[in-house]
């Protein structure tokens, strides 16, 4: 019998201060990222009864400014019996001054086997953005196309003119490769299958299932963002269990075709998956991701919770490459008077950048004519390091709790900039204005010192800020 008591956090030692987390319990994919009646809303995959993945609910938070979040009641609960049903990922859209959620219903068969399931697409509607009523004639899409397997999930809905469109992650029956399916509707309730807009070439190279698809335009180019499962590691690429990345191309909804370029990973860290974007009222394309990965070790589970969302990011595109940066509202979290310029000794070989990193931002600028290593030191132990190889323009992340490293590259330039968002047990590295990004969790009960190891400090500039704590207000 499943526990029906909500989890409680028993120890805050690893709890983030300014990242969205659930009140307690397990969290994964961000869902339903939308702006409605003056608030940004973010929903998330949520299991409130344990710190492990379980029958999925939709947790919910909202914000006026993208950085101070109010935790709200659970938005969607699975049908009974909950042990056989779940509310998988989906998206949100505003229509007739109401908020519509479109989500995947996940249903297990009688056998109890993991591969005995089916998935359908459903609608829930709210007038106030807090209380949701499931559409009485759900599901609105009851089954996948005949040439698709049971893997049929994660609707991302948008409007173009007087039509609504939704894409879904799918898998071909014949080749068992990932693909994206397109549907069209005039009212969000009655949908017509238009076709598969894109498909993996092979399972090993592009994945056996494409999860969490999202499509949008940036600077006149269409971007298909998704999380393929099953891409095999290729030297320094595709090293997570599953990946998240994008293909740039052109979508034609009339022919249901997406002409696309090759798949590119969007975040090179150990802990990033299942991203979702929205178009903000001011025209920015904003993104959340899950700040974890399926194979990640999560010591916080012992404390009654697991996982968090990334800090919200703005996406831009330049030379067919997507750049990610923290939303500009970050400056609202900088505590007045906390700005500090770091002084360096030119002839030193190692310098302290920040002591007792907890809820901080670090900005660094340095020349790229030599190697450097940025270390998070807990007493004498490096819990996390970022190493730069200047000859290869190569960045490598290593962690004390993981045997496997992660790698990213930057274009050749005379100067490198780094922006670090540090939040108790996580750090997000934005390098060269978001050209390359790493998202990482790390675990130390001691607040680590951030130390720069380099030969010549004469060309280094660094500024630190203390950031607000406890910006997520949980509903009691």
Q: Is 431 exposed, middle or buried (0-12, 13-18, 19+ CB in 10 A)?
A: buried
Element (H, E) at 205: helix 203-206
Q: What are the CA-CA distances from residue 76 to residues 22, 157, 345 (Å)?
A: 14, 18, 56
Give CA–CA dist 229/274, Å, rounded: 11
Q: Identify the CA nearest to 418 among candidates 399, 441, 438, 390.
A: 438
Count of residues in the chain: 476
Q: CB within 8 A of 358, min separation 6: which ones?
A: 17, 422, 424, 447, 469
* Strands 39-47 and 25-36, bridge-based pairing: antiparallel
**Residue in 383, 411, 416 with CA at minimum distance from that of residue 397:** 383
Of 29, 214, 303, 423, which is the active-site residue?
Answer: 29
Q: Would residue 65 show up in a list of annotated catalytic residues for this protein?
A: no
**21/391 Cα distance (integer angstroms):** 39
Report residue 399 as tokens.
């962690």
Q: Would strands 359-367 and 350-354 be described as parallel, antiparallel, or unpaired?
A: unpaired
d(CA 417, CA 430): 8
H or E element, residue 204: helix 203-206
Confirm if 407 and 282 have CB atoms less than 8 A apart.
Answer: no
CB proximity list for 94: less than 8 A, separation 6 or greater:
34, 35, 36, 100
Q: Is 130 helix (H, G, I), strand (E, B) or coil?
A: coil
Give the active site residues. 29
């Amino acid at each position: 019998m499943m526990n029906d008591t909500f989890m409680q956090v028993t120890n805050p030692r690893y709890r983030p201060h300014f990242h969205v987390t659930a009140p307690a319990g397990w969290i994964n994919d961000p869902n339903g990222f939308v702006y409605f009646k003056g608030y940004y809303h973010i929903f998330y995959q949520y299991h409130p009864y344990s710190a492990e993945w379980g029958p999925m609910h939709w947790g919910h938070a909202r914000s006026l400014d993208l950085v101070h979040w109010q935790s709200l009641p659970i938005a969607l609960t699975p049908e009974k019996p909950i042990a056989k049903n779940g509310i998988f990922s989906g998206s949100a859209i505003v229509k007739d001054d109401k908020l519509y959620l479109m989500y995947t219903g996940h249903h297990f068969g009688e056998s109890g086997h993991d591969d005995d399931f089916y998935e359908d697409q459903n609608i829930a509607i709210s007038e106030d953005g807090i209380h949701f009523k499931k559409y009485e004639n759900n599901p609105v899409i009851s089954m996948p196309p005949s040439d698709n397997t049971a893997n049929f999930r994660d609707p991302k809905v948008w409007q173009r003119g007087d039509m609504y469109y939704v894409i879904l992650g799918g898998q071909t029956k014949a080749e068992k490769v990932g693909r994206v399916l397109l549907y069209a509707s005039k009212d969000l309730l009655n949908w017509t299958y238009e076709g598969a807009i894109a498909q993996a070439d092979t399972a090993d190279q592009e994945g056996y299932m494409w999860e969490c698809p999202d499509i949008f335009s940036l600077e006149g180019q269409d971007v298909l963002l998704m999380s393929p499962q099953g891409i095999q590691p290729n030297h320094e690429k595709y090293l997570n269990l599953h990946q998240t990345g994008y293909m740039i191309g052109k979508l034609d909804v009339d022919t249901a075709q997406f002409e696309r370029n090759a798949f590119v990973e969007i975040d090179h860290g150990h802990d990033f998956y299942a991203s979702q974007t929205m178009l903000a009222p001011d025209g920015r394309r904003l993104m959340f991701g899950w700040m974890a990965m399926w194979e990640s070790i999560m010591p916080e589970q012992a404390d009654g919770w697991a996982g968090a969302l990334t800090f919200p990011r703005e996406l831009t595109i330049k030379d067919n490459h997507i750049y990610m940066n923290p939303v500009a509202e970050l400056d609202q979290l900088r505590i007045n008077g906390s700005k500090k310029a770091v002084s360096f000794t030119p002839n030193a070989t190692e310098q302290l950048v920040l002591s007792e990193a907890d809820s901080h931002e670090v900005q660094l600028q340095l020349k790229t004519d030599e190697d450097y290593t940025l270390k998070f030191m807990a007493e004498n132990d490096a819990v996390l390091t970022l190493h730069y190889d200047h000859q290869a323009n190569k960045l490598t992340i290593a962690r004390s709790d993981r045997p496997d490293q992660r790698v990213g590259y930057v274009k050749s330039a005379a100067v490198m900039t780094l922006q670090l968002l540090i939040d108790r047990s996580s750090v997000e590295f934005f390098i060269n204005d978001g050209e390359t990004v790493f998202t990482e969790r790390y675990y130390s009960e001691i607040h680590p010192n951030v130390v720069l190891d380099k030969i010549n400090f004469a060309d280094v500039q660094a500024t630190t800020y203390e950031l607000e704590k406890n910006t997520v207000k949980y509903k009691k």
